[in-house]
Amino acid sequence: MNFNNLDQLYRSVIMDHYKNPRNKGTVEDGSMTVDMNNPTCGDRIHLTFDIQDGVIKDAKFNGEGCSISMSSASMMTEAVKGQSLADAMRMSQEFTKMMLGEDYEITEEMGDIEALQGVSQFPARIKCATLAWKALEKGTVEKEGNTE
């Protein structure tokens, strides 16, 4: 597949997640809730998770934002469901490396998120793509601080 075809494929994956978001909504009685906004535009995300024994059993999001931030949230919630919080943090680190143009490793469980790789070439949009992951990191740090 040449670069243009790959670019087109990635664009269609992003638009599919934007138009048909996975895991949109709220986890009732979720054990972890996080709110975060993108200070550069004011867009916001609300995450709820059901976490049992350190494993993310369910993950949902609500929010308002651009196609990049909302598709990233859809992909993130897909990727982390069924993962331990520690593995979700590792995924977040790899995603950040991808956004920074560093060497990264995307595993199969991480699903479609590599479709956002091209965002790394647009520094103004990187905060859009990382919003959901930063919210996940914030929630995890707060939760670990509260429970351990």
Any contact of residue 38 with ligand FES (CB under 6 A)? Answer: yes
| Cα 122–chain centre separation | 18
Give me the long-range contacts of 11-20 (CB less than 8 A, separation at least 24): 11/115, 13/112, 13/115, 14/67, 14/68, 14/71, 14/115, 14/116, 15/67, 15/71, 16/71, 17/70, 17/71, 17/72, 17/74, 17/75, 17/112, 18/67, 18/70, 18/71, 18/74
State in angstroms the smallest separation of the CB of 64 from ligand FES: 8
# residues near ligand FES by CB under 6 A: 9
Any contact of residue 131 with ligand FES (CB under 6 A)? Answer: yes
Token couple for 141: 């740090």
* Residue choice 69, 83, 117, 140 for contact with ligand FES (CB under 6 A): 69
Any contact of residue 65 with ligand FES (CB under 6 A)? Answer: yes
State in angstroms the smallest separation of the CB of 96 from ligand FES: 16
Q: Which stretch binds ligand FES (CB under 6 A): 22-30, 38-46, 77-85, 134-142?
A: 38-46
Please report, as ranges, the residues that interact with ligand FES according to CB under 6 A: 38, 41, 43, 65-66, 68-69, 128, 131
